[in-house]
């Protein structure tokens, strides 16, 4: 069964406490927090104060996805704001190994993300340093985009690379996840499904989370 991480980017920001409590009462494992700076990605979402506000009501770990340039400048701040898992983009980190060490020194779980154009092989030297790899299945910056189909192949490649390296980490997929692609993703080897619009735009978000959790594979 996959772990489910609803993205609060698609929540009602004027009712954030209500939506965080919905996640608390659901079958989800994490709360996915999308931080965008208008530079690494075209869009701006929110920063540390919102992350800290979510943390005050959260009963599940915060999976914080930093879509920002120079993320190393803000690791301590996001850790203080309650981040349990911190994801940085390989495309934003010239000293990725150092950045991942820093995340771990702060007591958080280190995670690295790759954009749709970035090959899985670019991760080969740091796979032993992370507890999670996030494969973007849309171009980062916005919720509600369509899932990119080459994600299945990238997941399979990463499963193979992980086995060859003899290390362990979760594989997370983020962007356009729904009940059509979730079974195929889990079948390919995905451990964590992030879902924003599909959860929050549904009539019954708790039931939608439950449905994602229970996806059948072949």
Ligand X SMILES: O=C(CO)[C@@H](O)[C@H](O)COP(=O)(O)O
β-strand 31-36 against 3-6: which pairing, if any?
A: unpaired
Q: How far is CA 6 from CA 195, 198, 200, in A?
A: 5, 9, 8
Identified binder of Co ion from the candidate list 19, 29, 34, 63, rule CB under 5 A: 34
| Residue 71 found at the interface with ligand X (CB under 6 A) | no
Query: Please, where are the H alpha helices in the chain?
Result: 16-24, 48-57, 75-80, 96-105, 151-165, 182-188, 197-200, 205-213
| Residue 205 found at the interface with ligand X (CB under 6 A) | no
Considering only the stretches 54-62, 122-130, 155-163, 172-180, report the one whose residues sit in contact with Co ion under the rule CB under 5 A: 172-180
Q: Is 34 a catalytic residue?
A: yes
Catalytic option among 63, 170, 174, 191: 174
| Residue 192 found at the interface with ligand X (CB under 6 A) | no
Q: How many C-beta atoms surround the C-beta of residue 204 within 10 A? A: 10
Q: Is 77 a catalytic residue?
A: no
With beta carbons less than 8 A apart as the criterion, state whether 21 and 210 touch: no
Identified binder of Co ion from the candidate list 65, 79, 102, 154, rule CB under 5 A: 65
Task: Restricting to residues 40-69, name those near ligand X by CB under 6 A.
Answer: 65, 67
Distance of CA 81 to the CA centre of its chain: 17
Catalytic option among 34, 37, 63, 191: 34
Task: Restricting to residues 126-185, name those near ligand X by CB under 6 A.
Answer: 138, 140-141, 143-145, 174-177
Please give the positions annotated as active site. Answer: 34, 174
Which residues carry a binding-site annotation for a divalent metal cation? 32, 34, 65, 174
């Amino acid at each position: 069964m996959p772990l489910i991480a609803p993205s609060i980017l698609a929540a009602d920001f004027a009712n954030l406490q209500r939506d965080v409590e919905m996640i608390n009462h659901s079958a989800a494992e994490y709360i996915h927090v999308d931080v965008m700076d208008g530079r690494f990605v075209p869009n701006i979402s929110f920063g540390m104060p919102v992350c800290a506000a979510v943390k005050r009501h959260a009963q599940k770990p915060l999976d914080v996805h930093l879509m920002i340039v120079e993320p190393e400048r803000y690791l301590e701040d996001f850790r203080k704001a309650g981040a349990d898992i911190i994801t940085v983009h390989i495309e934003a980190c010239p000293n990725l190994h150092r950045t991942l060490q820093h995340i771990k020194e702060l007591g958080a779980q280190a995670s690295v993300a790759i954009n749709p154009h970035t090959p899985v092989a670019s991760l080969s030297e740091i796979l032993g340093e992370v507890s999670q790899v996030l494969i973007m299945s849309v171009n980062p910056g916005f919720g509600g985009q369509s899932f990119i189909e080459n994600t299945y192949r990238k997941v399979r490649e990463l499963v193979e690379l992980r086995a060859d390296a003899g290390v362990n980490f979760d594989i997370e997929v983020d962007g356009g996840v729904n009940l059509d692609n979730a079974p195929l993703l889990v079948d390919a080897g995905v451990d964590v499904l992030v879902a924003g619009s599909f959860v929050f735009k549904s009539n019954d978000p708790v039931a939608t989370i439950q449905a994602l959790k229970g996806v059948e594979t072949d």
